[in-house]
Chains A and B, each alone.
Chain A
Amino acid sequence: MSDTPQDSQPLSLFQPKFHGTAMGYFRIWIVNMLLTVLTLGIYSAWAKVRTMKYFMGATELDESRFDFHGSPIAILTGRILAIIFFAIYIISGRINPYFAIVGALILFCIIPWIYVKSLRFKLAYTSFKNLRFTFRGKIKDAFALWLKYMGPMVLIWIALTITMIYYGINENLKNKDAAAFAQGGVIPFVGLYLALISYWLFTVHRFVNALFTFIYNNIFYGGQKLSFESTSKEIFKHIFKPFYKYFFLNIAAFIGLAIVSTLLTKMVSKPLGTIILVSGSIAFYIAFICITLLTPYLTIKYVWSRIQVGSYRTKEFYDFKSFLKLSMTNFLAVGFSFGFLYPWAKVRMTKYLVEHRGIEINNFDHFVADSQQRLSAIGEEVADTFDFDIEVGL
C-alpha cells in the first residue's frame, strides 16, 4: 500500500452488503441441478463456479463487487482425481486392512499439501476491485505445523491400532483372545485411549491458534499482507472454554435428570418419572444442538475481530441469539423440505454473516496489485472429497 495523503483521511466503518436473494439463487440451483443430472455429473464443476460467482458477485463493499474466477476444467480434473484417490483407498482397504492403515498414513501426510493447495486456489481466484487475493503459506511450514501438533496423536493412534491387532479386538474379540485381552490388554488399551483424549484436550486450542496464525498471516490482498494477532490462551478463553463449560454442564444436567427420574419412578410413580425423563431428554438434545452451534459462531467472531489489513482492523457485529435463531430455522426448513428450501437458507445465512462484519478504513482506492499466479484446483477438490471445509472468511 502506498503512502499517500489518503492515509491521513479519517477512518470510516465500511460494511459489506449482500444482494443475493432466495429466488435468485433458487433459479441458479435448479438449473445447475438439472444440467448436472443431464450431463451425468460433468456439469457439476461449472455449477460450482457459477454458484461461487453468484455469491461473490452479490457481495458488495465500497460499491464494488467481489468476483470468483475459478476454472471449471481445473475443478473437474481435481474432482476426478479425488474420486480416483478415494476409490484406491477404499478398494485397497478391502483387499487388505493393513493397506487401509498405510492409506490413512499417506492421507495424513498429504493433508498439509491439500490444505495449502486448496487455500491457494480459493484465494488466487477471488478478487475485489480487480485485485486478486493470494495465499503465500509454504507447504513445508504447513507440514511442520501439522507434524508438531498431530504427530504425537498419530503415534498414539498407531500404538492403539497395534494393541487392537495384537489382542484381536478389531476382528472377533469374542472368539479369539478375550481372556488374554482381559488379563493384559485392558490397561494399555484404556490408557492409550485416555492419552489420546487428554492430548487432544490439552493441544487443540494450541493447534487452532497455530493454524489460524499460519493462514491469516499468509494472505495478501494485491500486494498488501493481512495480519492476525492471536494467542492459544485467547483461543481457549474465547472459543474452547465456553464450549467445554456448556457441554459438560449439559451432560451433568442430563445425569442429574436421569437420577431424579429414576428416583421418581421408584418412589412416586412410573409415568411421572417417564414424563420427566422424556421432556428432559428433548431439552438435552436441543441444548446439545445449541452448544454445537456455539463453536462455529465463536470461531467466526474471534477471527473477524482480529484480522488486520495493513493498519486497518476488521470488526464483527454478530450476536449468538440471532445466529442461533437463524441456524435453527434454517435447520428445520431445510430438513423438512427434502432440501428444497436450501437456497433460501443459504442466502439468509450468507446475508447475516456478510453484513455483520466490516472494516475501519479511510478508503479502498490505494491498494496495488502484485504478481498473480494461476494454480490447479486439484488441492481444493481433494479437500472437498475428504470433507475439509476451509473457511477463509473473505
Chain B
Amino acid sequence: MTLIEAKYYNSVDSKTHLVQIHFDQDKLYILENEKTKSVSINHCKFETPIASNPMIVELPNNERLEVKNSTLLVEELKRIGHKKSFASYHIETNTKLFAVSVLVTISLLVVFIKFGIPKMSGTIAMHAPSSWTEKLDDHILSDLDKHVFSESKLSDETQNQIRHYFFKQSNTEANLLFRKGNQLKANAFALSNNTIVITDELVHSAKNLNHLLAIYLHEYGHLQQKYVLKTIVSSSSLALLSLMLVGDLPGLSESLANLNFVLLSRSYSRGYETSADDYSVNFLNALDKSTRCMSEALLVFKSVHKETSENNMIIEYLATHPNIDLRIAKIVKSYPLDKSCQVATLPMTEDSTSN
C-alpha cells in the first residue's frame, strides 16, 4: 500500500487539512489523524497533471485534494488500472515525445512559411475577382499621385511613341502611365490590375528604348503574376501567424516580434522580383532580343540609385529586392552567349522637356 501526502480542502472553509491518501480496489482512502474517509474512485475527477504543479483531485460535494507528488499519484492510478490517459501531460514530460513535438512544430511552421504561404497567396491572387484589383489600382495610384508623384513632363507624343513601341514589340497591352517620380527617381511600378507606371526620370536615364522595354516586361511579369495581391495575402497571413504565436504579449514585445514577420515577408518580395526578372528575360529571348537588355537596364538602375554592390547579409535580409549584381549575374549565367542589347533610339529624348 503506497501512502501519498496530500492537502484536503472541504467546500465550507479555507482550512488546509494535511492528509495521506491511498487506493484500494475501487476506493480512494483519505487519512487525517485517526479518521479515515473513503470515496469511490468513479466519483473522483483526476485532473491532468501540469508540469511540477500539484495534481488536483476533485471529490464529490466540491471537496478537493492537492497532491504535490503528481508522478507518484499517476503511477498509483496506472497500477490500479485507472483508464485516464493524461495525453498532454505525457507528451510534455516524455523527453522523446517532447523533442518530436518541438521538431514537428518548428517543421510545420517552416513548411508553412516557406511553401504554404506563397502557394496559398498565389492561388488566392489568381482566383481573386477583377473588381478587387481594379479597386486596389485606383486606391494605390491615387495615393501615389497625392503623396509622391507629380504630373509627367513628357509630351503626349513621346508617351504615345513609347507605348506604341512596347505594345508593338511585345504584343502586350497594359495601361501604361507616365509620372514624374520625384524622390522615387528613375523607377517603374506594376499596380495590381493592368497598370504600369514609368517615371520620367527612368525614361531620361535609360537612353536605349530596349532597356525600357526590358523593364516594362519585368513590370508586366508582376502584373501577370498578380504581385500586389500576392504580397497583400502573404503579409496578412504572416501577420495572422504572428498573432497566433505571440498575440498575447505586451504591446512592445509584440510589435518587435511582429517585425520579424514583416522582415520575413521581404523574402517573399525578393522571390517575386526574381520571377519577374525571369519573366522579362524569357520574354526578350522569345522576341529574339538580347537578354542583355535586362542586365544593362539593371546597370542603369544601379548607377541612378547608387546601389551598393556589396554582398551584405543584413542588407539582403532587409531589402525588398535581391542584390542587383546577383540579379545581373543570374541573367548572364542563364544566357551566356547573348550579345549586347541593340540600341533603339529614343525620339522623345530630343524633343522632351528636361526633368
Residues of B within 8 A of A372 (CB): 62
B80 sits at the interface (CB 8 A): no
Assuming A27-B51, A33-B245, A331-B253, is B10 touching A130 (CB within 8 A)? yes
Residues of A within 8 A of B64 (CB): 130
The answer to whether A27 touches B53 (Cβ under 8 A) is no
Residues of B within 8 A of A107 (CB): none
B13 sits at the interface (CB 8 A): yes
A313 sits at the interface (CB 8 A): no
- The complex places the Cα of A330 from the Cα of B16 at a distance, in Å, of 37
A255 sits at the interface (CB 8 A): no
Residues of A within 8 A of B13 (CB): 131, 222, 365-369
* Beta-carbon nearest neighbor of B245 in chain A: A339
Partner of B88, one of A50, A289, A339: A50
Instruction: Render A108-134 as a binary contact track against B, CB cut-off 8 A, 1 for contact.
Output: 000000000000000000001111000
Residues of A within 8 A of B10 (CB): 130
Minimal beta-carbon separation of A216 from chain B (angstroms)? 20
Minimal beta-carbon separation of A323 from chain B (angstroms)? 12
B314 sits at the interface (CB 8 A): no
Find residues 310-365 in chain A having any chain B CB closer than 8 Å to their own CB.
327, 330-332, 334-336, 338-339, 342, 345, 364-365
Partner of A64, one of B7, B246, B250: B7
Partner of B260, one of A28, A131, A338: A338
Stretch in contact with the other chain, from B91-99, B224-232, B269-277: B91-99
The answer to whether B92 touches A345 (Cβ under 8 A) is no
The answer to whether A27 touches B93 (Cβ under 8 A) is yes
The answer to whether B11 touches A130 (Cβ under 8 A) is yes
Instruction: Render A287-307 as a binary contact track against B, CB cut-off 8 A, 1 for contact.
Output: 001001100100000000000
The answer to whether B246 touches A339 (Cβ under 8 A) is yes
The answer to whether A365 touches B54 (Cβ under 8 A) is no
- The complex places the Cα of A252 from the Cα of B47 at a distance, in Å, of 57
The answer to whether B98 touches A27 (Cβ under 8 A) is yes
A34 sits at the interface (CB 8 A): yes
B200 sits at the interface (CB 8 A): no
- The complex places the Cα of A162 from the Cα of B202 at a distance, in Å, of 45
* Beta-carbon nearest neighbor of B93 in chain A: A27
* Beta-carbon nearest neighbor of B251 in chain A: A292
A31 sits at the interface (CB 8 A): yes
- The complex places the Cα of A229 from the Cα of B78 at a distance, in Å, of 52
A57 sits at the interface (CB 8 A): yes
Residues of B within 8 A of A368 (CB): 12-14
Residues of B within 8 A of A366 (CB): 13-15
Stretch in contact with the other chain, from B100-108, B214-222, B329-337: B100-108
B252 sits at the interface (CB 8 A): yes
The answer to whether B51 touches A24 (Cβ under 8 A) is yes
Minimal beta-carbon separation of B180 from chain A (angstroms)? 18
The answer to whether B256 touches A65 (Cβ under 8 A) is no
The answer to whether A65 touches B53 (Cβ under 8 A) is yes
Assuming A33-B105, A130-B14, A222-B14, is B92 touching A28 (CB within 8 A)? yes
The answer to whether B253 touches A58 (Cβ under 8 A) is no
The answer to whether A34 touches B105 (Cβ under 8 A) is yes
The answer to whether A19 touches B260 (Cβ under 8 A) is no
Partner of A334, one of B47, B88, B249: B249
- The complex places the Cα of A330 from the Cα of B295 at a distance, in Å, of 46
B26 sits at the interface (CB 8 A): no
Residues of A within 8 A of B62 (CB): 130, 372
Residues of A within 8 A of B91 (CB): 31
The answer to whether B51 touches A30 (Cβ under 8 A) is no
A3 sits at the interface (CB 8 A): no
Partner of A335, one of B47, B245, B259: B259
The answer to whether B56 touches A67 (Cβ under 8 A) is yes
- The complex places the Cα of A28 from the Cα of B215 at a distance, in Å, of 52
B66 sits at the interface (CB 8 A): yes
Residues of A within 8 A of B12 (CB): 368-369
CB contacts between A and B, total, < 8 Å: 135
User: What class of interface size applies to chain A in its complex with B?
Assistant: 35 or more
B52 sits at the interface (CB 8 A): yes
Partner of A129, one of B14, B53, B249: B14
Residues of A within 8 A of B251 (CB): 292
Residues of B within 8 A of A139 (CB): none
A54 sits at the interface (CB 8 A): yes
B301 sits at the interface (CB 8 A): no
The answer to whether B249 touches A342 (Cβ under 8 A) is yes
The answer to whether B108 touches A336 (Cβ under 8 A) is no
The answer to whether A31 touches B51 (Cβ under 8 A) is no
Partner of A331, one of B7, B16, B104, B256: B256
Partner of B102, one of A30, A332, A338, A367: A30
Residues of A within 8 A of B146 (CB): 174
- The complex places the Cα of A289 from the Cα of B16 at a distance, in Å, of 45
Residues of B within 8 A of A37 (CB): 105, 108
Instruction: Render B221-265 as a binary contact track against A, CB cut-off 8 A, 1 for contact.
Output: 000000000000000000000101110011111011101110000
Minimal beta-carbon separation of B128 from chain A (angstroms)? 15
B9 sits at the interface (CB 8 A): yes
B63 sits at the interface (CB 8 A): yes
A136 sits at the interface (CB 8 A): no
Residues of B within 8 A of A293 (CB): 252
- The complex places the Cα of A366 from the Cα of B15 at a distance, in Å, of 7
B299 sits at the interface (CB 8 A): no
- The complex places the Cα of A89 from the Cα of B261 at a distance, in Å, of 27
B50 sits at the interface (CB 8 A): yes
Assuming A129-B14, A334-B253, A364-B14, is B98 touching A65 (CB within 8 A)? no
- The complex places the Cα of A64 from the Cα of B14 at a distance, in Å, of 10
Residues of B within 8 A of A345 (CB): 249, 253
Residues of B within 8 A of A292 (CB): 251-252
Q: Measuring CB to CB, which residues of chain B are less than 8 angstroms from any residue of chain A?
A: 7, 9-16, 47-48, 50-54, 56, 62-64, 66, 88, 91-93, 98, 101-102, 104-105, 108, 146, 242, 244-246, 249-253, 255-257, 259-261
Extra inter-chain contacts (6) besides given A57-B53, A131-B13, CB under 8 Å: A31-B92, A37-B105, A57-B54, A130-B62, A342-B246, A365-B13
Task: Return the 9 tightest CB-CB contacts between A and B, nearest first.
Answer: A335-B256, A130-B9, A57-B53, A339-B246, A24-B51, A129-B14, A367-B14, A334-B253, A27-B92
- Listed A/B pairs (28) with beta-carbon separation below 8 Å: A21-B52, A27-B93, A30-B101, A30-B105, A31-B91, A33-B245, A34-B101, A50-B50, A54-B51, A57-B50, A57-B54, A58-B51, A58-B53, A128-B14, A129-B15, A130-B64, A174-B146, A289-B252, A292-B252, A296-B250, A331-B253, A331-B256, A336-B256, A338-B257, A339-B242, A366-B14, A366-B15, A367-B13
